[in-house]
Amino acid sequence: MPASPDRVQGISLFIVPKFLLRADNTIGERNAVSCGNIEKKMGIHGNATCVMNYDGATGYLVGERDKGLRAMFIMMNAARLGVGVQGMAQSEVAYQNAAQYARDRLQGRALTGPKNAAGPAEPIIVHPDVRRMLMNARAFNEGARALMLWGALQVDLAQVAASPEERQRADDVIGLLTPVIKAYFTDKGYENATNAQQCLGGHGYVQEWGMEQFVRDARITMIYEGANGIQALDLVGRKLPANGGRALRTWTAEIVAALAATSGEPRLQALAEALSRALADLQAATQWLVRNAMGRPDNAGAGAMAYLHLLGLVALGYQWVLMAQAACRALDEDPAETDFYTNKLITARYFCSHLLPETALHRARVEAGCEDMMALDAAAF
């Protein structure tokens, strides 16, 4: 039998059991697999990470020889979505703790005059900068939750939609969004956990309050199941150009249709305009990559992360417009249900006025190319 290639094309997948089976299928001798060391880590201490030794162990081939990486990617695609949920969930739990603290902690006076005149100071939730951190997390969490549910629907549709065209469409769009959900959600999950820690001031740094654990635990999600930089390369190098850009075309056409459906609803106009601008940034950045990355791959690598964040913002903006539309409908149908839907519209407006404009920055970064990034000699670092 020829040797396997000394590359990823030579990787095979094995099951290595702890105990070997006897011929009669009863449990036999201990296999030679062993745990060499349990790593000491920054966080996720409830989850052991080990060095495993397989010297002389018996393994059983899973699937075809040399096709292990392809098999692993089936697991990896599901795992990437799972890690995206982890990032989003860490942002949510950190936000809930920070919001509770911000309502309780008394410090300073409101810029607009006392809100708690009888008390020695105001609850810090009156301060705009504390609001900034809370609203950033809240607007991300709710948008990301909607996008994750939308993504889960696409996973199902890719399997069971009625026609092959619908299954292909769902497979295309979830393929495009998988690296974005993994990397954008976990970058933001960590950022929001850090900002939630900041809301607690000194208490945020003290173990007893639990916030530093959220920060430590969130950090791994940007690294495992493929570092986020690799997710960005997957998006720009594989998912975008696949089938002549079909996935992005399909998905952006759905956004354009959603934008058209907002016309005539004054409560949605500012949101729709903000999303249209963000979509224009995405389309311009895509065109720039098409023109400038083929001949110079470093241009794709240099802008990949900015492009991934740009696409993540547009994806959340799309979900926010859909949610705002649903909130308007619900408010019209049942004016008694005001709090939930009114708060939804306020948060939608915040997302569109404060977070979505970042697409212009990301577009500028993509269009700046690799020149200045690659100019320094490696020895100069």
Q: Which is nearer to ligand FAD, 230 or 261 (CB)?
A: 230
The Cα 370–Cα 112 span in angstroms is 46
Rg of the Cα trace of the chain? 24
Q: Minimum distance from CB of 234 to ligand FAD (Å)?
A: 10
Which stretches of the chain bind ligand FAD, using CB under 6 A? 41, 49, 220, 223-227, 229-230, 233
Tallying the residues shown for the chain, one arrives at 381
Token pair listed for 190:
């960590």
Annotate 137-155 with DSSP letters as a single string.
HHHHHHHHHHHHHHHHHHH
Instruction: Return the axis-axis angle of helices 246-260 and 269-292, rounded to nearest 10°.
Output: 160
Catalytic residue among 225, 337, 358, 367: 225
Q: Minimum distance from CB of 233 to ligand FAD (Å)?
A: 6
Q: Minimum distance from CB of 49 to ligand FAD (Å)?
A: 4
Residue in the shown chain whose Cβ atom is closest to ligand FAD: 229
Q: Which is nearer to ligand FAD, 41 or 203 (CB)?
A: 41
| CA distances, 111 to each of 108, 124, 165, 177, 274 (Å) | 9, 11, 57, 42, 29
Residue type, 371: E
Q: Minimum distance from CB of 265 to ligand FAD (Å)?
A: 42
For the stretch 105-141, what's the b/e string if a residue is b when 16 or more beta carbons lie within 10 angstroms of its beta carbon?
beeeebeeeeeeeeeeebbbbbbeebbebbbbbbbbb
Q: Minimum distance from CB of 24 to ligand FAD (Å)?
A: 33
Q: Which is nearer to ligand FAD, 27 or 227 (CB)?
A: 227
Q: Which is nearer to ligand FAD, 54 or 209 (CB)?
A: 54
Q: Which is nearer to ligand FAD, 80 or 138 (CB)?
A: 80
Q: Minimum distance from CB of 308 to ligand FAD (Å)?
A: 12
Q: Which residues contact 167 (CB under 8 A, 6 or more apart)?
A: 157, 158, 159, 160, 161
**Spatial contact of 64 and 113, defined as CB atoms under 8 Å apart:** no
What does residue 32 show for φ and ψ, rounded to 5 degrees?
Answer: -80, 10
The Cα 228–Cα 154 span in angstroms is 22
Is residue 71 packed enough to be buried (19+ CB in 10 Å), middle (13-18) or exposed (0-12)? middle
Residue reference for tokens 């969004």: 177
Q: Which is nearer to ligand FAD, 230 or 370 (CB)?
A: 230
Token pair listed for 187:
């970058």
212 included as an active-site residue: no
Catalytic amino acids?
225
